[in-house]
Structure 1
Amino acid sequence: MIHVEALTKDYGQVRAVEDLTFTVKPGIVTGFLGPNGAGKSTTMRMILGLDTPTAGAALVDSRPYRDLRRPLTVVGSLLDAKAVHPNRTAANHLRWLAQSNGIPPERVDDVLGLVGLTGVARKKTGGFSLGMGQRLGLAAALLGDPKILVLDEPVNGLDPEGIRWVRDLLGALAAEGRTVLISSHLLSEMALTADRLIVIGRGRLVADTSTAEFIREHSASTVVVRSERIEELAEHLSRAGLKSVPAPGPTLEVADATTEQVGALAFTGGFQLQELSLRQASLEDAFMDSTGSAVQYQAQKTAR
């Protein structure tokens, strides 16, 4: 488990993180979201002992990261896949990490196979593509078979097959009871991967909730209903207090309602329906709604 309590970080006169508190629980994949400059990277660095908090604490497995005797066997992390000596081979990069943490050397071959890099194990990392470097970074994170994973943009540079592989891998690791925290700007992918979301803006907590609840709370859903007697149906819904707007074809869009409500009213009014569906907003819509005021760098809209 990861526990962050009243975490604050100042860089001179700039406050990057302010009084941040949250818990990342085992058994689920937790997404860590926020606009650029929100303090995500700073928070992750404090969790991993790379930056010292101005106030508060960040604990992994109930201890500060710096107190872990063999950290790679407790926490696996990926913050910068390019932080590899370019003249080392993939296998040698992992071997020295294994040796530094008392990890059996045969584990290197295991993780290289797991991430699909067995064929390039003896190649120098300086010639790796972005996607290959990302896979090597994931191999390093998994090297100690840790129960906690902290990953920043884990699918960066991967092709669609690689992205799906990471999604399935993270889900499987969480199902084993591990704690998984991932940060990503790919909101569509996060919607498929994360069970729970921690959202921050300008260093403060914006939301700590399930992905489904976050979308539901920060975006509107619309019921789409289609019938041959669409005008009569609109009047029937209006008398029941539901507002609707016409859509292309014999279709209505009903805001602030559920399919159960609209379906029940259509049934009592004797309307035969050709369509009754819920159009749910995306995670991107919900994210923009909840963090719009916390965006640090905003580009001007271009006139058309």
Structure 2
Amino acid sequence: MIEVKNLTKVYGSVRAVDDLTFTVEPGVVTGFLGPNGAGKSTTMRMILGLDAPTSGTALIDGAPYRSLPNPLSKVGALLDAKAVHPNRSARNALLWQAQASGIEASRVDAVLDLVGLTSVAGKKVGGFSLGMGQRLGIAAAMLGDPEYLILDEPVNGLDPEGIRWVRELLRRFAAEGRTVLVSSHLLAEMAQTADRLVVIGQGRLVASGSVHDFIKENSALTTVVRTPHLAEFSAALTAEGITFVPSTDAEGRPVLEVPSQSSDDIGALAFSTGVMLSELTERRASLEDAYIRRTEGAVQYASTGFPVPGGQPNA
């Protein structure tokens, strides 16, 4: 388990991380979210012992990263995929790390194959695309077959196949009982990857819990009803004092949108009135919508609108 407790980092007059407390549990993928400048990378650096906290603690299995006897076999990390000498080949970039940690060279070849870089193992890293660099960084993180993975924006530059591969890799890693902490600004992808979320803003904790609960708590519920007896069911809703909005679905069929009512409640009403339903669907906002709503006011770098002709901002 990763335990962050009262973690604070101050740079001059700036509190990059402010009394932050959360845990990252094994067996699940934990998404680490926050606006630009929220303190995510700084927090990850303190967990990995790269930055010293001003106060508070960040522990892995109850100990600071720097005290781990063989850290590469305990924790795999990717914070900056570009932090590799450009004149080294992909294989040599991993080989020196393996040799320094007592890892056999065969493991280098195994992780290169895992990330799909075997065919370019002898090429210089300086000529790699952003996506190839990300794959090499993930290979380095996996080198010691670690119990923990800490990844900062691992899918940047990857194509759809690569993004899906990372998603499946992280979920398989967590399913083995290991611990995953991953940050990303691709919220649609995070919704498919993460089980739990830690959300921060301006260095402070905003939310912590399951993806399902986060969306539920930060978005409105609407139940969509389609029935061949639209007028009859509209009358039943009105009689119960339930507000609804007539609408159409993607195929142009008439539906009723019922805000703030669960499908259980609407289904029970339909059953009690003897109305047959063709569709009964709960609709919630996406993770992106819930995230925007929850982090409103915690954004450090916010745009003022879209440019319009004449150079005036659009409010």
TM-score range, shorter chain: over 0.9
Distance 1:201 1:174 in 2: 26
Distance 2:45 2:240 in 1: 54
Relative to structure 2, which stretch is displaced further, 62-71 or 230-239?
Answer: 230-239
| SS class of match (1:132) | helix
Distance 2:126 2:305 in 1: 40
Which sections of structure 1, spanning at least 5 residues, go unmatched? none
Q: How far did residue 128 of structure 1 move?
A: 0.6
Equivalent in the alignment of 1:278: 282
Q: How far did residue 246 of structure 1 move?
A: 1.3
Question: Residue 267 of structure 2 is aligned with which of 263, 275, 280?
Answer: 263
Equivalent in the alignment of 1:121: 121
Which sections of structure 2, spanning at least 5 residues, go unmatched? 307-313
Question: Which amino acid in the other structure matches residue 246 of structure 1?
Answer: P
Cα-to-partner distance string for 1:35-59 (whole Å, 9 max, x where unaligned) = 1111101100100111110110001
Alignment of 1:251 onto 2:238: no
Q: How far did residue 101 of structure 1 move?
A: 1.3
Equivalent in the alignment of 1:101: 101
Equivalent in the alignment of 1:179: 179
Q: How far did residue 69 of structure 1 move?
A: 2.7
Cα-to-partner distance string for 1:55-79 (whole Å, 9 max, x where unaligned) = 1000112111111232111110000
Equivalent in the alignment of 2:20: 20
Distance 1:20 1:294 in 2: 15
Distance 1:70 1:288 in 2: 40
| SS class of match (1:168) | helix
Q: How far did residue 108 of structure 1 move?
A: 0.5
Distance 1:235 1:38 in 2: 49
Equivalent in the alignment of 1:188: 188
**What is the TM-score normalised by the length of structure 1?**
0.97
Stretches of 4+ moved more than 6 A in 1? none
| SS class of match (1:294) | coil
Equivalent in the alignment of 2:206: 206
Question: Which amino acid in the other structure matches residue 138 of structure 1?
Answer: I
**What is the TM-score normalised by the length of structure 2?**
0.94
| Counterpart contact for 1:70–1:102, Cα < 8 Å | no
| Structural RMSD (CA) | 1.2
Relative to structure 2, which stretch is displaced further, 153-162 or 188-197?
Answer: 153-162
Question: Which amino acid in the other structure matches residue 82 of structure 1?
Answer: K
Distance 2:70 2:255 in 1: 62
Distance 2:220 2:160 in 1: 30
Distance 1:4 1:83 in 2: 26
Q: How far did residue 231 of structure 1 move?
A: 3.5
Cα-to-partner distance string for 1:156-176 (whole Å, 9 max, x where unaligned) = 111111111111111111111
Cα-to-partner distance string for 1:6-44 (whole Å, 9 max, x where unaligned) = 000100000011110111000110000001111101100
Identity of aligned residues (%): 65
Distance 1:198 1:34 in 2: 9
What pairs up with 1:62-73 in 2 under 5 angstroms? 62-73=62-73
